[in-house]
C-alpha cells in the first residue's frame, strides 16, 4: 500500500488529523492496534477549549458537538468550605469552554471517516515504523495472519504514551522529562444530574475533589486517593460518602447519587518528550506529552499538536515548503510547556501532598484567597484554563 501520511493511532488526535488531511485532499491511512469499540470505551476528558472546537468545525464534524455540548463561562473553586466563581467569560473578553466528552468527539470523527470511505485498520498487530530518517518511511503491521506494508511520505505518531512511535526514536536523539505525583484520581461516572451547572474544583483537608459532568444527565466525579488504593476497595457508597465530606454544605445538599457506570483510578504525571520530530516521523498527543488532568489540557494539547502538524503538511504538499514541518516541534513544545506549567501549578495548588504537613494547606488557602480576590490572579487562571491563543508568544 502507498499513502502520503501513515497515522498510527485512532484516538482523537489521529482521527482529527486524518479528517483534516482528507478535507485538504491529502491521503492518509490510520492504523489502530485495538478495536473501534475498545477505543470508544476509554473514559477520558470532557472539556474543550475554543481551539479544539474550531478544529472540529474545520474538520467538518462539529454539528453534534454544538448541539449537545454544554458551554461553560466559568467554574467554582472551593476552599475553606466556601465556593468562589472564576468568571472566565468576563475575565478573558468573552471566551468559554465546552463540556463534550472525548468519547463523543471520537465517535463523531469515526463516523465521519467511515462515511467518507477512508481506510482505518483496526486490530493492527505488531505495528513497526521503519526508515523514518529517510525520504521513504515505511510502516509494517500484521492483520489476519499476514504482514502488510505501507509506504508513505510521513508518519504521524498519535499512538499514545505506550505506543511504538516514541519507543522507536533513537535514544541518543530523544530527551524525556517526567514528574510523577504521589497520588491518583479515583473517578466515578454515573447517570445522575450534575451537582452544579459548572465544574467545582475542591481543595479540602481530606484531599482534592472535582465535580464534573458529561451532559445534563451524566456526571463525572473525582477524588484524590493514595496510589496504593485499589478501585475494588471503593464501593459506590464509600465514594459518595467521601465526596460529601469534601464538598460545601450547599453542594452536599444538592448531590444526587446513584450506581456507577464506570470507576477507575488514574495516576497523575507530567511528561514531555523533546523533540517531537525524528526525520519524517512526528509525535502528537499523548505520544509526546502527558499532563495531569487538573487543568483539562490533555485532549486540547493533542488538538493543537494536530493543528500545527496539519498546517505544516499542507504547506509541504501545496506550497512545496518544509518550513512548517521544520517548525512543528518548536511551536508545539512552546505551547506544551505552558500547559504543563499550568497543570503542574493547578495540581500543586489543589491537592494534599503527603509529608508536607498542615502548613502546606495553609499556604494553599492563602494563595487561593489571593487569587480569587485579585483580578490579575483570577485572570491568569481564566486565561490559562480557556487556553492561550495558538500564536501566543510566537
The residues carrying an active-site annotation are 72, 201, 293, 297, 385
- State whether residue 148 is helix, strand or coil: strand
Helices (H), 35-184: 36-41, 50-58, 63-68, 88-91, 102-115, 164-168
Task: Return the sign of the alpha-carbon dihedral for residues 178, 183, 188, 193.
Answer: negative
CB 35 within 8 A of CB 58: no
CB 350 within 8 A of CB 296: no
In angstroms, the CA 330 to CA 284 distance is 13
Give the CA angle between residues 19, 22, 26 to the nearest 5°: 130
In the chain, DSSP assigns E strands to 5-8, 28-31, 47-48, 70-72, 74-79, 82-87, 97-99, 120-121, 125-130, 138-143, 146-151, 154-157, 175-190, 200-203, 209-213, 219-226, 260-274, 277-278, 281-283, 289-290
186 CB contacts (<8 Å, ≥6 apart)? 222, 223, 224, 225, 229, 231, 234, 239, 263, 264, 265
In angstroms, the CA 350 to CA 362 distance is 12
With b meaning 16 or more CB within 10 Å and e meaning fewer, what string describes 270-295? Answer: bbbbebbbbbbbbbbbbbbbbbbbbb
Amino acid at each position: 500500500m502507498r499513502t502520503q501520511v501513515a497515522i498510527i493511532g485512532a484516538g482523537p488526535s489521529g482521527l482529527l488529523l486524518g479528517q483534516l488531511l482528507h478535507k485538504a485532499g491529502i491521503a492518509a491511512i490510520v492504523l489502530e492496534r485495538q478495536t473501534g469499540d475498545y477505543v470508544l470505551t476509554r473514559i477520558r476528558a470532557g472539556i474543550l477549549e475554543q481551539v479544539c472546537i474550531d478544529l472540529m468545525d474545520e474538520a467538518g464534524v462539529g454539528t453534534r458537538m454544538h448541539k449537545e455540548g454544554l458551554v461553560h463561562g466559568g467554574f467554582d473553586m472551593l476552599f475553606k468550605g466556601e465556593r468562589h466563581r472564576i468568571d472566565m467569560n468576563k475575565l478573558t473578553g468573552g471566551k468559554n469552554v465546552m463540556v463534550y466528552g472525548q468519547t463523543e468527539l471520537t465517535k463523531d470523527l469515526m463516523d465521519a471517516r467511515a462515511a467518507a470511505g477512508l481506510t482505518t485498520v483496526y486490530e493492527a498487530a505488531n505495528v513497526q515504523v521503519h526508515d523514518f530518517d529517510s525520504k521513504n518511511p515505511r510502516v509494517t503491521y500484521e492483520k489476519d495472519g499476514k504482514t502488510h506494508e505501507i509506504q508513505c511520505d510521513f508518519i504521524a505518531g498519535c499512538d499514545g504514551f505506550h505506543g511504538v512511535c516514541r519507543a522507536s526514536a533513537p535514544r541518543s536523539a530523544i530527551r524525556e522529562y517526567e514528574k510523577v505525583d504521589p497520588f491518583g484520581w479515583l473517578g466515578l461516572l454515573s447517570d445522575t444530574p450534575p451537582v452544579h451547572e459548572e465544574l467545582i474544583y475542591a481543595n479540602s483537608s481530606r484531599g482534592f475533589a472535582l465535580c464534573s459532568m458529561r451532559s445534563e444527565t451524566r456526571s463525572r466525579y473525582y477524588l484524590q486517593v493514595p496510589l496504593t488504593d485499589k478501585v475494588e476497595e471503593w464501593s459506590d457508597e464509600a465514594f459518595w460518602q467521601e465526596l460529601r465530606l469534601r464538598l460545601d454544605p450547599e453542594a452536599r445538599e444538592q448531590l444526587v447519587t446513584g450506581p456507577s457506570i464506570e470507576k477507575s483510578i488514574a495516576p497523575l504525571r507530567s511528561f514531555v518528550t523533546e523533540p517531537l520530530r525524528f526525520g519524517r516521523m512526528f509525535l502528537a498527543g499523548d505520544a509526546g506529552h502527558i499532563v495531569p488532568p487538573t487543568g483539562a489540557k490533555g485532549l486540547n494539547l493533542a488538538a493543537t499538536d494536530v493543528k500545527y502538524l496539519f498546517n505544516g503538511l499542507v504547506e509541504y504538499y501545496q506550497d512545496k515548503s518544509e518550513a512548517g514541518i521544520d517548525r512543528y516541534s518548536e511551536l508545539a513544545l512552546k505551547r506544551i510547556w505552558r500547559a504543563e506549567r499550568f497543570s503542574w501549578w493547578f495540581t500543586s495548588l489543589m491537592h494534599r501532598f503527603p509529608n508536607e504537613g498542615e502548613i502546606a494547606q495553609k499556604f494553599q488557602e492563602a494563595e487561593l484567597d489571593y487569587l480569587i480576590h485579585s483580578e490579575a490572579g483570577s485572570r491568569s487562571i481564566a486565561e490559562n484554563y480557556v487556553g492561550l491563543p495558538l500564536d501566543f508568544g510566537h
